[in-house]
Chains A and B, each alone.
Chain A
Amino acid sequence: ETGVTQSPTHLIKTRGQQVTLRCSSQSGHNTVSWYQQALGQGPQFIFQYYREEENGRGNFPPRFSGLQFPNYSSELNVNALELDDSALYLCASSNGLALDTQYFGPGTRLTVL
């Protein structure tokens, strides 16, 4: 059984660019949630995908978008990058919507210059 993996590990972009982050769910999991963790802060919920449909969204602008694929892997896309988008982006997969079954990946560190 493989865990949750994320790619890339680190990424550097400049303001105004677009970025795509990827997440592979744990085997058998059909739900993916994405979180943004700024330096010195706790993770903040961005959105969740359940069986390829968005199922809840946090307080993030529309330039944060996502996809979930039939194999339940997921992408987080961020357009028009801003300096404040610099953060660790975490994805978590679960079997169904129950929060206590979430497993987190190691994260992607995004730096926006």
Chain B
Amino acid sequence: AQSVTQPDIHITVSEGASLELRCNYSYGATPYLFWYVQSPGQGLQLLLKYFSGDTLVQGIKGFEAEFKRSQSSFNLRKPSVHWSDAAEYFCAVAPNRDDKIIFGKGTRLHILP
């Protein structure tokens, strides 16, 4: 069965520092991979997705993620965080583009001024 693991429940970084949020998935083939962000009172917003091709994916708001098949990982990165990046981040996987999405439990990002 597919699963998604986000090992860090909470992460705190200083404003301007770099960020990496970890995501590992369990699936036999190369799945479709997503990162979503959820701010308080807001719905989920898609940051980026990986289906195939270049393993370094650029997203919105200055985020990027790298697919590493050998590590079954799809980590999210940002070179310099802003206070407005404080939110909950969800990694998600689907076996194909039209199938149901399975979400991880999320990582809450806190930003220190």
Q: Is A84 an interface residue (CB 8 A)?
A: no
**A to B contact number (C-beta, < 8 Å):** 55
A107 near B: Cβ within 8 Å? yes
B41 lies within 8 A of A42 (CB): no
A44 and B34 form a contact (CB under 8 A): no
Q: Which of B43, B49, B102, B106 is within 8 Å of A90, CB to CB? A: B43
B61 within 8 A of A: no
Asked if residues A4 and B97 are in contact (CB atoms below 8 Å), the reply is no
- Complex contact B41–A45 (CB within 8 A): no
A33-B100, A56-B99, A99-B99 are known contacts; what are 9 more A-B pairs with Cβ within 8 Å? A40-B106, A42-B104, A43-B103, A97-B97, A98-B98, A99-B32, A99-B34, A99-B94, A104-B45
Binding site for A on B (CB under 8 A): 4, 32, 34, 41-46, 49, 51, 90, 92, 94, 97-106
Contact among B42, B45, B98, B102 with A97 in the assembled complex (CB-CB below 8 Å):
B98
CA distance A19 to B103 in the complex (A): 25
Size of the A side of the interface (Cβ < 8 Å), in residues, is 23
Residues of A with C-beta under 8 A to B45? 104
Chain B nearest CB from A26 CB (Å) reads 11
CB of A64 to closest CB in B, whole Å: 14
Q: Which of A42, A92, A99, A106 contacts B42 (CB 8 A)?
A: A106
Residues of A within 8 A of B (CB): 4, 33, 40-45, 48, 56, 58, 90, 92, 97-100, 102-107
For residue A56, which residues in chain B have a CB less than 8 angstroms away from its CB?
99-100
| A40 cross-chain contacts in B, Cβ below 8 A | 105-106
Give A29 to B113 CA distance when docked, in angstroms: 40
Q: Quick check: A90 and B103 within 8 Å, CB to CB?
A: no
A43 with B44: CB separation less than 8 A: yes
Q: A42-B106, A43-B90 are in contact. Are A99 and B43 (CB under 8 A)?
A: no
Residue of B nearest to A96 (CB): B98
Nearest CB of chain A from residue B108's CB, rounded to whole Å: 9
B71 to chain A, nearest CB (A): 21
